[in-house]
Amino acid sequence: MPELPGVFTEETVTPSGGRRMTLNMGPQHPSTHGVLRLLLELDGETVVRAEPDIGYLHTGIEKEFEVKTYQQAVTLTDRIDYLAPLSNNLCYCLAAEKLLGLEIPPMAQWMRVMLTELTRLNSHLVWLGTHAIDIGAMSVFLYCFREREDILRIFEAFSGQRMMTSYFRIGGLALEPPRGWQARVKKFIDAFPANVDEYEDLLTNNRIWMGRTKGVGKISIEDMLDLGVTGPMIRAAGIPWDARKDEPYSSYDQFQFNVPTRLENDVYARYLVRVEEMRESAKIVKQALDGMPSGAWQADAPHVVLPQREKMKTQMEALIYHFKIVTEGFRVPAGEVYQVIESPRGELGYYMVSDGTSKPYRVHVHGPSFGNLQAVPEMVEGRLLADTIASIGSMDFVLGDTDR
Amino acid sequence: MANPIEEVLGTAASIAKGMGVTLREMLSPTVTENYPDEPPKFEERFRGVHVLQRDENGMEKCVACFLCAAACPANCIYIEAAENTELVRISGGERYAKVYNIDYNRCIFCGYCVEACPTDAITHGHGFEVASYNTATLIKRKEDMLAPIPPGAHAPVIVPQQPAGH
Ligand code: SF4
Ligand code: SF4
């Protein structure tokens, strides 16, 4: 029987006389780890072939960008990678601001850095909790989600939503930071390093954890680079690529932090890299907190940014701008731009083409999860089925980011 | 392979460490909220079900300018405007919203409508229990969302409208 692409034959006899079995791993319910379907061909406990089947969460978001005005489309970016909405907000806004040639005031830039680093913590906490649960350590999940709850509350205080924040807008921030935000963030970030110690107490020297993760999920560096794997995955293989350092944006160059790397290139190393990243992010948040510049939180660009409400209600000119921006949006000069940031999962890029109207002509999202997921076959083929779980857990993909 | 005795001792030590964390957490205060037995806590800015505000005289603040509908990324606001008259005075401005529907099947609670409204008529309340088995009940009408008339204010005069051309 000719083999169809993506479809495995039902059963084949292996050279040793055993029979191969095809196993469908997933797709599960949308609210679980992810709607990923893995087609596995097994010879006993060994994976002979693996193929990720993606597309179950395809939303058509990229097409949707074309019918929304630039500012409205910010709400779409929240929903691409729902564990890092602010990173997506940021990348999209930076791309549009590049086209517009907007100068963002320092306070807004620093606030963006602080909140995206909190997003990184949020995302890594979800990753750590669910990865641990996949491997069988239940309590880490509960502690991670406790801290995550604090972060989500901070997001809610800033933006009004826990997850779908839309807090970064083209031209700055959506709203002035809330009253008492410093105390909130400080309280959280002062307590956070101790919490990371706690996760490490539970996992880092845990023999079961080490047994399940050490030496598992290896993949050659050449393959990673060819497949477009980025983020903590390549940093755990010793490549210190981090867009925050190598292509600084939003004044990341004014912060002191390290890019943690490991050389082992296995699931355990990826765990250590992400844990170390959490500590580094906490440092960045702290620096942002201590050195937050004062001043405007939106760019001085009356044709793009909605006027302050007080002005809008008292000055005729501001009211006219308000009407104009809300009803028509703003025109963005024709051109194209590609903006890269370091999202919690790796290199996130927005490619934006403008034809000079108030709606994007095309927005393409280069999601880090897509590249990372391509490494599945290389990682799991020829290894035990149980290692598959640990390997795909270590990639930290979000299916919304993969399928878009 | 490491020395088996070392191995056993290391394993025991790491288990003891992990159990120490669990024990400490057992004794620390609970952070879980007891929803639905207790009301959940919200931040001030929480974007919940909308409330259409009235001014201090009990007049509706909405002047049917359609800005919220234009700003809405989900296209879920439907407005029909009408003129205030001598007999029927609903809002403080020239016009008022005769029909104001928000389709909560589509609303994404993004707050763009609130940002756009020039009269602060539409705001986010803290209501969130909108789930329903029947999608038709998720289209909320103006009457469902209007804030109550403040005490002491005179209710706006509501006279049945005459048929057109009269
Ligand atoms: S919250 Fe957003 S989606 Fe909902 S009605 Fe307002 S603008 Fe539309
Ligand atoms: S709610 Fe506000 S923005 Fe919407 S029509 Fe009424 S006055 Fe205009």
CATH code (residue B103): 3.30.70.3270
Containing A210, the helix (H) or strand (E) segment is helix A207-213
Instruction: Tell me, yes or no, whether A34 lies in a domain.
Output: no
* Residue span of the structural domain in which A259 resides: 61-303+330-403
Report the chain B residue with the minimal C-alpha distance to residue A162: B46
Residue A156 to residue B43, Cβ atoms within 8 A:
yes
d(CA A262, CA B79): 59
**B112-140 CB burial, b ≥16 within 10 A, e <16:** bbbbbbbbebbbbebeeeeeeeeeeebeb
Q: Which amino acid is it at A290?
A: D
Contact A92, A69 (CB under 8 A): no
Report CA dihedral (B2, B6, B11, B13) to the nearest 10 degrees: -140
First CA to last CA distance, chain B: 99
Q: How far is CA A12 from CA A178, A385, B21, in A?
A: 63, 18, 49
Question: At how many degrees (to 10) do helices B4-27 and A138-159 cross?
Answer: 40
| Lookup: tokens for A82 | 């729902």
Please indicate whether residue B46, judged by its CB atom, sits closer than 6 Å to ligand 2.
Answer: no
Q: Give how many domains chain A has, as a whole number.
A: 1
* Residue A312, in any domain of the structure: no
Q: Whose CA is nearest to atom 8 of ligand 2?
A: B65
Residue B154 forms part of a structural domain: no
Q: Quick one: angle between helices A181-203 and B4-27, nearest 10?
A: 150
Per-residue tokens: A361: 């002509």
Q: Which ligand is nearest to the CA of B64?
A: 2
Residue A16 sits at the chain B interface (C-beta within 8 Å): no
Q: Does the Cβ of B68 fall within 6 Å of ligand 2?
A: yes
User: What integer pLDDT is reported at residue B155 of this predicted model?
Assistant: 60
Asked, for residue A161, whether it belongs to a domain, the answer is: yes
The amino acid present at B58, given as its one-letter code, is: G
The CATH number for A292's domain is 1.10.645.10
Given a cut of 70, the residues of chain B with pLDDT beneath it are 1-2, 154-166
Residue A28 lies in a domain: no
- B115 within some domain: yes
Residue B72 lies in a domain: yes
Does B158 map to a domain?
no
Q: Which amino acid, residue B106?
A: R
Could you tell me the strand order of the sheet in which A346-354 lies?
Answer: A335-343, A346-354, A362-366
Counting as low any pLDDT under 70, the low residues of chain A are: 1-18, 28-34
Q: Considering the domain boundaries, does residue B1 fall inside one?
A: no
Dihedral class, residue A335 (left if φ above 0, else alpha if ψ from -120 to 50, else beta): left
Residue A56 domain-assigned?
no
Residue from A283, A291, A305 nearest A174 by CA: A305
Residues of the domain holding B126? 50-145
Q: Which residues are within 8 A (CB) of B163 and not within 5 positions of it... i.e. 6 or more apart?
A: none
Is residue B92 included in any domain, yes or no? Answer: yes
Tokens 């007049």 correspond to B59
pLDDT at A1: 39
Nearest CB to A207 within list B14, B67, B115? B14
Does ipTM surpass 0.85 in this model? no
Helix (H), strand (E) at residue A278 = helix A267-291
Position B123 in a domain: yes
Distances in Å between the alpha carbon of A363 and those of A267, A349, A351, A372, B10?
33, 10, 6, 21, 53
B31 vs A76: CB contact, 8 Å cut-off? no
Other residues' Cβ atoms within 10 Å of the Cβ of residue B6: 9
